[in-house]
Structure formats: C-alpha cells, structure tokens
Amino acid sequence: LATGNKSNSGYVGVLPSIVSSPSLEPIKEEDKLRPVANVLEGAKRTGRATGIVATSEIQHATPAGFSAHHVNRKHFDVIAKQQVYQNIDVVL
C-alpha cells in the first residue's frame, strides 16, 4: 500500500529479495532490496504537505512503510533516523 510494490515479510519500503508467488516474475538480481518510493515521498516531490498519524510507535512497520526504507522492520533506530530526515510536516 505505501509503495505499490509487494515485498517480503519484515521489509519496509524495499523490493523483495525473492518472489515466491508463481504468478509473478522473478526479481532481477540488481533490483533485490532496492528502496522504492513511498506515497509520502511522492507527495513531497509534488510540493504537498505530508504527515503520519498512528496509534502505534511511528517506527512500527505500518507507519514506517510510508516513511522509511530498510530490510528489517525491527531496526527501529535506523528507521527513526530515516524518518527524521524525511521532512514530514506532521507526525502524531
């Protein structure tokens, strides 16, 4: 939802390392784990204000999917650093 791309469990904002669905093409080696733009980044590029509202910690996987790129959703410190530099206008 955040990027429009399916990924592997535990990843945040990156392409999968393996595609296990028989209906999908295998992922190219050079594309594995590549960060992909999320909805907030797209909005920023077009001059819109951005924000995240969550009832969980902002570094949790769901809000992080809209604001960070990492291969481990549990690396909260890395995700938090990325979120700080995303220039998100509102975080609640």
Q: Is 69 annotated as ligand-binding?
A: no
DSSP character at residue 33:
T
Written as six digits, the tokens of 75 are 């690396």
CA–CA separation, 71 and 47 (whole Å): 28
Q: Is 75 annotated as ligand-binding?
A: no
CA–CA separation, 23 and 79 (whole Å): 31
Residues of the binding site: 60, 62
Bind-site residues for Mg(2+): 60, 62
